[in-house]
Amino acid sequence: MEPAQHAGAGDPPLRFPIYEHLYLLNVYTQKMVELLEDLSRKFVINSESLPYYQSMLQYVRAAASHGLIDFMARVEETEAWLHQSQQRVEEEKLRDPDDVYISVRLREAVRRRQKLPPRIQFLGELGVAKASTVKKRKAGKAD
């Protein structure tokens, strides 16, 4: 059975009943282990066999739990991927297209503080850049 075909499937989704059944499997197995112990104290059950019976029950519980958890981990991974993709689509709808300019301006400020050359130049800063270039040229000609 492929987990991808079960992601988000069912009503309620597949994972809720499986987790509930997994919980019940663990609870009832523990009750069976405890019942065996009670039976061995109250009635004649070979006390030497008790740990063997209990370990068999615990082994079946652990193996079944492991199989279900492994399967459900793949279902959850698939659902996480699907929901993350959906989240990105929704975030894109909410995003202001002009936010990219703010991010670029902030990144360029970080680069300036790190003494790195700018990757872009904003139009409002062009006049400042030209003025400083003109001053540098004039200083170069004066030498």
85-96: pLDDT as tens digits: 999 999 888 888
Question: Any idea what DSSP says for residue 97?
Answer: T
Query: pLDDT at position 43, please?
Result: 81
Token representation of residue 8: 């988000």
Domain locations in the chain as residue ranges: 3-94, 99-142
Query: For 19-41, what is the mean pLDDT?
Result: 93
Query: For 60-72, what is the mean pLDDT?
Result: 94
Query: pLDDT at position 137, please?
Result: 60
76-119: pLDDT as tens digits: 898 899 999 999 999 888 888 888 888 898 999 999 999 999 88
**Structural contact between residues 61 and 27, judged by C-beta atoms closer than 8 angstroms:** no
Token representation of residue 70: 């492994």
Query: For 52-56, what is the mean pLDDT?
Result: 93
Q: Please check the confidence at residue 2 and state whether its pLDDT lies above 80.
A: no
Query: pLDDT at position 29, please?
Result: 96
What pTM, to 2 d.p., does this model score? 0.54
Q: Over the chain, what is the mean pLDDT?
A: 82
Pairwise CA distance, residues 10 & 75, whole Å: 13
